[in-house]
Structure 1
Amino acid sequence: MKIRLSRMARVAACLSPLVLHVAAHAQSTGSALTDTVVTANRTEQPLSDLLSDVSIVDRETIARSGAVGVADVLARLPGIEVARNGGPGNTTSVFLRGAESRFTAVYLDGVRIDSQSTGGVQWEQIPLAQIDRIEVLRGPAAAVYGSDAIGGVIQLFTRKGEAGFHPYVGIGGGTHGTGRLEAGASGTAGVDNAFDYSLGVAREISNGFNAREVATQNPDKDGYRSTSANARLGFRIDARNRLDATFLANDLESQYDNSRRLNDKSNHTLRTAGLTYTGQWTDFWKATVQATASRSVYETQPSVYRTETELHNYLFQNEFRFGEHLFTAALERREDNLQNTPIDRDRSQNGIALGYALKHGAHTLQLHGRHDDDSEFGGKNTGSAAYGYAINSNWRATASVGTAFRAPTLYQRFSEYGLGSLRPETSRNVEAALHWSQGASSASVTVYRNKVDNLISFGAAGGCGSTFGCYRNTAHAQYEGVTFAGAHKLGAFALRGSLDLQDPKDEDTGRQLARRAKQHAVLGADTRFAGVDVGAEMQASAHRWDNAANTTRLGGYTLFNLYASTRIARDYSLVARIDNLADKFYQTANTYATAGRVLYVGVKWAPQ
């Protein structure tokens, strides 16, 4: 992997030994990781058994972040970069290990979200106020999830009801006329607390800032308005059987600049719903039956444009445990519909997935294979194999290989720019990692290379109905890199950090892929002083190119953030955050402004 070190790279290179040094000197405690994740294999799995590169963001981290959008939280994790066309309500891209934004499969409470117009989820549509937990899987996972998971999988979860009754009301405000009001309740009811529930509503507003400070664009402020709600209900039928239902809604209106005189606005609608039955049918057989649906709408005015994607998913998953052995078998059906005048098209995918996992002494093995039958393209096979070896109680080595694919969107095939002959984009990934842990301290280094063929790009006219240009399978991409990550408790301070050195490039031209840096890093420290939890954070990124030709340069940047939270009374807590403390000017998309220094203060009432 050839990566030339710029000034940013030299700064980042200094961080990598610090990240490892932070964890290498943690020898004081011996507790093991006990948290579990479901994203890696679609089954509950202890963190200590993972063979995948996974990050978890919990409720407390989200609460103290003071962030406005989900993407802002993700940007502080290893391997993730974010680009945005202006403020929080505008078009947002999330690059996982440098992969295209459409190459990440996204689920909300198990409900798949996608756009058959742009490809991938529209991140600005997801209301952070309703999110309680985030799991991020880096690396291909199509052998488990089917189409789209070339770069990885991100699962978002709303709050689940816990024993008792837990109401809350929160209010906050900040720079750019930003305001947030939220309320909700969660708890349990019935005999033996068999029924659990969580309900939440939120309203967020912002006057915003001028998203495009160029002479050809409207100089007005570009704000947003968001109204969201969610419900999560569960019923334990008996000790072995359970029903869960989820619902989420968000309506977002945001302003953007597309002309000098018009007040351009976009309206987003997101709806998700899911019903899941889980049954422990025998001592060794667990089954899950799930039906989900999502609807994503994007429309603009006064220039009229509207696109709507509906997605239905049906899953029957089985787990068979025999001692050290776990066998999985799943049947899945996905149905997509795109309405984008004059397009009104459907497609479906039927999949069968098989898996095997073994944990025997120091050895861990996981194998997955899947066959998907697409109504447009026919059959597609994907597979993955991962192996882990526990060198001793602290050190562990892992390695994996996997293939993945993403079918072209209905818009890429049937719009005026589309070609019906487009083929699925495919990938082959290899990676290896070394992990160290001691109590609450940890360190890891992960090396990966992901090669994508049949990459769909927008090229010259010819073959489609447009004289402007057409979508084509003309490109090949390679995403390779190394990620360092670490965490350590040093006295009263909890330290964490990550450094990514990567080379996302177009293999045909040798150029760097647009809006992705070759180096980016995050470093943070938290402590408690006089009853107040305080923290500081640095986010750094090297320069990027805004276009595929690598002629428009976006400068590198370093941001410093401060945050604090404390309990100001028995049932009241206060959170405050300053992002971009030095008021650094930077861009993640050419001609689009960023917020500058931002202050947010919030108060929450939640009875203890």
Structure 2
Amino acid sequence: MKLCVSWVRLAVLAAAWPLCLLVQAQEAAPRVLKEVVVTATRVVQPLTDVLADVSIVDREAIERSGAAALPDVLRGLPGVEMVRNGGAGAATSVYLRGAESRFTAVYVNGVRMDSQATGGVSWEAIPLAQIERVEVLRGPAAAVYGSDALGGVIQIFTRQGDGGFSPSVSMGMGSYGTSKLDLSLSGGDAQWDYALGLGTESSKGFNARVLASQNPDDDGYKNDSASLRLGAALIAGHRLEASFLGNDQNSQYDSTGVVDNRNLRRLQATGLNWAGQWSEAYRTTVSVNESLERYETIPSPYATTTHLRGYLLQNEWRKGANLLTATLERREDQLNNASTTPRDTSRFQNALALGYGMAGEVHSVQANIRQDQDSEFGPQNTGSLAYGYAITPQWRVTVAGSTAFRAPTLYQRFSVYGTADVLPETSRNQELALRYRHGVTEFGATVYLNEVTNLITYTSRTGNCINNKPPVALASRGCYLNTAQARYRGVTLSAKSVVADVHWHASLDLQDPRDGVTGDLLARRATHHAVVGGHTRWGAWSFGADAQLSSSRYDKVPNATVLPAYALLNLSATRPLSPQWSGLLRVDNVTDATYQLADTYATAGRTLYVGLKWAP
């Protein structure tokens, strides 16, 4: 009962808070620098010009959060949920507006990340220590990015050099035997810039599955990561940049018996980009990149490797408030998996995309069309159109519609569970938004409806499976088929401001993610979830607090097992210890709440983390 009361109070607070913030904002609106984003259209834009629903997380917010992993940071944003099978090194899913985890296209410095075995990126293997900035785009964006972006796009940027030589060392220890050590070097001038990051972290973890049939040991993890970003601007208006991100993860997981079961994950993203500003109006970008995701289990003999290669040629032409873009792109996917026939499978997509944007004082438009020529499925056409009307300089209403698709993974096509006639998943999305910006105060309300057809699911009805490989024993096997539909609809409210020297933020999501055939709520997604938080300074100290709330969810479809509602409170404090040293204290799950994100999987109790940073 206490949890329900807390949930109602904070949900109401999150919904009503924007009105309070707006009243405060009318009294004083400090001037702020314009933030820019890349993810909305693949072109640098001021955030105030963007018609899409976008959030930004910078390095300062990441460090202040003291979070264990990137999904823990993302779950504090509007429209984002996270599910994890245990601790920070365990299998993790991230849902944008309730959409499947595989429906989020993920990029690292412009390099596409994906697993053609599981579908979607391995969130648990992305090293938070190397991240400088994250941009989150909610809503389909296939007309800009092609396959996969049915739910949205998350773009991750590693650190970039700027200014003089700047070294730093961060270290810390926490509950469950957690330890971290991060080193970074960066610098640059008008011609050259560089940034190097090295990190290692480990945790003994906790027993993720307290079941008699599972291993009774603690399930820990170890990450070793590195990032490198080099830039050169030897000719005025032209810049060449190379980037690399890598992480090796060794994590434990529970299975039947007492054997020490482990996941071995390797993630790499390598990119080479050149941008040329030929004139004030015309700009060209060329990109060549490659990513790798490898997953292996020991002592169980299983391994799968995904290679993605990308080639991009983008042209931009600006005239006043108008921007035209024309893009040629090629993507090559390759999967090596013992369960696929043949063992090495591949696919490519060639794309042409056109875009037009106009950012006026009253009227704004963003239109995109794209055709992806898939080597297996032929042409896939997508489009998006958004219109914004400024009611006043502070208030703007936006209406948008888009289509999107995701090609089946190579595993869904060619494994022993694949079928020859499985088709791409497709979606249609409509949304209406109202936004307010004035100084440091922002408010947003977005209503959306995203309907997915040809949804691919695994079925155990072997009689429906048409196998496209040499005969196998299908008596105990099922297959992947286009058997379902999904409907993601909801309302997202968000607000942030500065009131009495306190930087506040709040969001509330009211959503209804359902199976379009059975009417069941989709697994592990809440109909209500909210975040309320803030940070402020008091003397030399900086204090932060955030509360995360989620209503009850169902663990599976059909809806049977209920995962109860929960509320988490996290606190943090930082303080300069000298001109070069600073300290961080973080307490997560302050009330030691017991909750579940997935049935039969435990979550962390109250945890403490203490960190030190040296940055001369």
- 1:74 corresponds in structure 2 to 74
**Percent identity between the two aligned chains:** 52
Query: How far apart in 2 are the matches of 1:17 and 1:515?
Result: 23
Query: How far apart in 1 are the matches of 2:558 and 2:15?
Result: 34
- 1:580 corresponds in structure 2 to 589
- 1:22 corresponds in structure 2 to 20
How far apart are residue 199 of structure 1 and its match? Answer: 0.2
Contact 2:317 2:323 in 1 (8 A): yes
Q: Secondary structure at 1:132's aligned position in 2?
A: strand
Letter in structure 1 aligned against 2:440: A
How far apart are residue 33 of structure 1 and its match? Answer: 5.7
- 2:312 corresponds in structure 1 to 315
- 1:147 corresponds in structure 2 to 147
Q: Secondary structure at 2:121's aligned position in 1?
A: coil
Query: How far apart in 2 are the matches of 1:67 and 1:32?
Result: 27
How far apart are residue 32 of structure 1 and its match? Answer: 5.5
1:269 pairs with one of 266, 273, 276: 266
Equivalent residues, number: 599
Contact 1:15 1:499 in 2 (8 A): no
Distance 1:292 1:91, change over 3 A: same
Letter in structure 2 aligned against 1:517: A
Q: Secondary structure at 1:207's aligned position in 2?
A: strand
Query: How far apart in 1 are the matches of 2:102 and 2:532?
Result: 28
Query: How far apart in 2 are the matches of 1:10 and 1:604?
Result: 39
Query: How far apart in 1 are the matches of 2:535 and 2:13?
Result: 18
Q: Which runs of 4+ in 1 moved over 6 A?
A: 6-9
Give the alignment of 1:438-587 within 5 angstroms: 438-459=438-459, 460-462=461-463, 463=465, 464=467, 465=472, 466=474, 467-587=476-596
Letter in structure 2 aligned against 1:428: R
Q: RMSD of aligned C-alpha atoms?
A: 1.2
Contact 1:231 1:246 in 2 (8 A): yes
How far apart are residue 341 of structure 1 and its match? Answer: 0.8
Residues 115-147 of structure 1 show CA distances to partners (whole Å, capped at 9, x for unaligned) of: 000001010111000001000000000000000
Distance 1:202 1:312, change over 3 A: same
Residues 330-355 of structure 1 show CA distances to partners (whole Å, capped at 9, x for unaligned) of: 00000000001142100000000000
Q: Secondary structure at 2:404's aligned position in 1?
A: strand
Residues 415-438 of structure 1 show CA distances to partners (whole Å, capped at 9, x for unaligned) of: 111111110000000001111122
Letter in structure 1 aligned against 2:47: L
Query: How far apart in 2 are the matches of 1:24 and 1:226?
Result: 43
Query: How far apart in 1 are the matches of 2:167 and 2:321?
Result: 42
Q: Secondary structure at 1:78's aligned position in 2?
A: coil
Q: Secondary structure at 1:186's aligned position in 2?
A: strand
Query: How far apart in 1 are the matches of 2:219 and 2:206?
Result: 5
Query: How far apart in 1 are the matches of 2:184 and 2:143?
Result: 38
- 1:297 corresponds in structure 2 to 294
Letter in structure 1 aligned against 2:462: A
- 1:207 corresponds in structure 2 to 204
Query: How far apart in 2 are the matches of 1:22 and 1:127?
Result: 37
Letter in structure 1 aligned against 2:21: A
Contact 1:171 1:182 in 2 (8 A): yes
Query: How far apart in 1 are the matches of 2:355 and 2:444?
Result: 26
Give the alignment of 1:57-456 within 5 angstroms: 57-188=57-188, 193-343=190-340, 344-456=344-456
How far apart are residue 444 of structure 1 and its match? Answer: 1.0
Structure 2 gap ranges (5+): none
Query: How far apart in 2 are the matches of 1:240 and 1:100?
Result: 41
Query: How far apart in 2 are the matches of 1:551 and 1:301?
Result: 33
Residues 301-335 of structure 1 show CA distances to partners (whole Å, capped at 9, x for unaligned) of: 11111110000000000000112211000000000
How far apart are residue 292 of structure 1 and its match? Answer: 0.4
Q: Secondary structure at 1:182's aligned position in 2?
A: strand
Query: How far apart in 2 are the matches of 1:374 and 1:237?
Result: 38
Q: Secondary structure at 2:512's aligned position in 1?
A: strand
How far apart are residue 282 of structure 1 and its match? Answer: 2.5
Give the TM-score normalised by the residue count of structure 2.
0.96
Contact 2:14 2:531 in 1 (8 A): no
Contact 1:32 1:48 in 2 (8 A): no
Contact 1:486 1:498 in 2 (8 A): yes
How far apart are residue 394 of structure 1 and its match? Answer: 1.4
Q: Secondary structure at 1:311's aligned position in 2?
A: strand
Letter in structure 2 aligned against 1:412: Q
Contact 2:296 2:304 in 1 (8 A): yes
Q: Secondary structure at 2:519's aligned position in 1?
A: coil
Query: How far apart in 2 are the matches of 1:475 and 1:377?
Result: 19
Query: How far apart in 1 are the matches of 2:110 and 2:9?
Result: 40
Distance 1:33 1:543, change over 3 A: farther
Give the TM-score normalised by the residue count of structure 1.
0.97
Contact 2:15 2:507 in 1 (8 A): no
Query: How far apart in 1 are the matches of 2:7 and 2:427?
Result: 28
Could you tell which deviates more after superposition, 334-343 or 312-321?
334-343
Structure 1 gap ranges (5+): 1-5
How far apart are residue 520 of structure 1 and its match? Answer: 0.2
How far apart are residue 528 of structure 1 and its match? Answer: 0.8
Query: How far apart in 2 are the matches of 1:19 and 1:405?
Result: 37
Please say if 1:37 is aligned against 2:62.
Answer: no
How far apart are residue 239 of structure 1 and its match? Answer: 1.9
Residues 567-595 of structure 1 show CA distances to partners (whole Å, capped at 9, x for unaligned) of: 11001111111110001111101111111
Q: Secondary structure at 1:569's aligned position in 2?
A: coil
How far apart are residue 7 of structure 1 and its match? Answer: 6.5
Contact 2:21 2:499 in 1 (8 A): no
Q: Secondary structure at 1:77's aligned position in 2?
A: coil
Residues 421-474 of structure 1 show CA distances to partners (whole Å, capped at 9, x for unaligned) of: 110000000001111122101111100000000000111223245333111101
How far apart are residue 8 of structure 1 and its match? Answer: 7.6
Q: Secondary structure at 2:605's aligned position in 1?
A: coil
How far apart are residue 30 of structure 1 and its match? Answer: 5.2
Letter in structure 2 aligned against 1:380: Q
Contact 2:14 2:532 in 1 (8 A): no
Q: Secondary structure at 1:219's aligned position in 2?
A: coil
